[in-house]
A and B are shown apart, each in its own frame.
Chain A
């Protein structure tokens, strides 16, 4: 099974900050990497798929990049509504797996 290691697990940031979250896989994913945002009590929301493609309706301050086994989610200028948890997911092979998550909190 493919393991995803997400870091950091927690980060404290201010509105306007640039934030980067990393997801490392123990094998190549052929770009089958997605990022989700989840707010408390809500279902996850797909932000980015295919490593770097923004889902329709997602603000352009979110971006994804990476290759092979290391991937990043970047929020260029953190907004109040971005304080949430973020998860990466690999869809390269079954069983699909998620990273452990990153909680972004207000500094």
Chain B
């Protein structure tokens, strides 16, 4: 069964840092682009970042550019999101998700999602 399981969320103060993890299983992890998508309380979905299967190419939403980095360890089938200089507006449930076909460009949807991990930024 294809599965994604996020971890690492928590409560922290503005300006803090946190690293989220996403453990993948049931598919050839290194072949697929992965994304992080977040949802603030009562709000819609926001794509945060994506990374190629090899890990050599990544993109970010303007709202997190320069503060967040994305990486992956294909030997451990794990995706990461390193978050720094956190703000109250980063409070959200963070989901990792998998592209539906192999490759970083030209996939058509995010077909598998984790249940999410909650990040709360508050003083």
Contacts and interface: CB of A to CB of B under 8 A. Distances in A.
Interface of A: 1, 32, 34, 36, 38, 42-46, 48-50, 53, 55, 85, 87, 89, 91, 94-101
Interface string B66-102: 0000000000000000000000000000010100100
Nearest to A85: B44
Contacts of A49: 100, 108-109, 111
A74 B116 CA distance: 28
A67 B111 CA distance: 22
Nearest to B60: A95
Contact of A44 (B45, B60, B61, B62): B45
A100 B46 CA distance: 9
Contacts of A96: 35, 47, 50, 59
Interface in B39-59: 44-47, 50, 59
A78 to B, nearest CB: 21
B44 A98 contact: yes
A46 B45 contact: no
Contacts, number: 68
B109 A95 contact: no
25 contacts: A38-B45, A43-B95, A43-B113, A43-B116, A44-B97, A45-B113, A46-B109, A46-B110, A48-B109, A49-B111, A50-B108, A50-B109, A85-B44, A89-B47, A89-B109, A89-B110, A94-B50, A95-B50, A95-B62, A96-B35, A96-B59, A98-B45, A98-B46, A100-B44, A101-B44
Contacts of A99: 44
B45 A87 contact: yes
A89 to B, nearest CB: 7
Contacts of B35: 96
Contacts of B107: 91
A53 B108 CA distance: 10
A48 B61 CA distance: 23
B115 interface: yes
